[in-house]
Amino acid sequence: MSDHSKEIEALLPEYVLGTIPAEQRAFIEEHLESCDNCRIILEELLEVEQGLLHLAQPVEPPAYAKARLMAAIAAESESTQWVDRLLRLPFARIGAIAIVLLLIVTNVVLLNQTITLQDQIESLSRKQETNQTALALASNPNSQVAELQGDQVGGTFVYDPGVSVAVVFVWGLEALPSNQVYQSWLISPDGARTSAGLVEANPASNFVTFTVESSRPLSDFVGFGVTVEPAGGSPAPTGAKVLGVDF
């Protein structure tokens, strides 16, 4: 692997969106000619973007989603010429592009914060797993998209009812105090809630993506939701519901 591979990997999502400066684009393209690993990652990002764009029928986004998306993009990029074009896209397509935007934001945060090498490795590993899951669901003809709804929060739940894993895209989650955390739940037909894991809001962006895993096929459940719980999570929901959807 080239000495520049890690640096190039961090820039590939922005390269896919076409927002990279011209001098960096030339540097990336020169590197891609000789690096098989980076070319593979680029192909996966392109497939994820294109696959997710076709998972759901387009619907118009609510006004708050447009406003929050514009604010997040303007804060993370010096060039906002493409913002208006992005905001004119249907809701489902904004959700698909959100994953690529999230990769950009997350990589920028990782590169600028002083954190341990182990934290960086673990974070990159989680992103790669989520990316691979999203790619698999995007290429699966049985995959479905459920629109998550909440007060000032929106998102999509991408899943195959016959399997036990899903990818969730959420925008609009505000950072919580240190004594609280977002927790996700799968809802059974009898109303029982099964924890699907904690959700960490990203203070640098309104966009969050995470993987939901269950010990049973998702067809065994009738809904999904996210609540605010005490730090560390709860065995059952106790706090306010932030967003959710019935399958």
Say which DSSP state 218 is in.
G
Strongest mean pLDDT among 38-42, 79-83, 154-158, 191-195 = 191-195
Closest CA to 137 of 164, 159, 168: 159
* Ranges of H-type helices in 54-189: 63-76, 83-87, 91-112, 117-138
Rounded to the nearest integer, the mean pLDDT of the chain is 75
**Residue with tokens 């990203």, as numbered in its chain:** 202
Residue count of the chain: 247
pLDDT band at residue 70 under the 50/70/90 scheme? low
Closest CA to 157 of 243, 42, 77, 31: 243
The string of pLDDT tens digits covering residues 121-157 is 455 555 556 655 665 566 567 888 889 988 888 888 9
pLDDT at position 176: 92
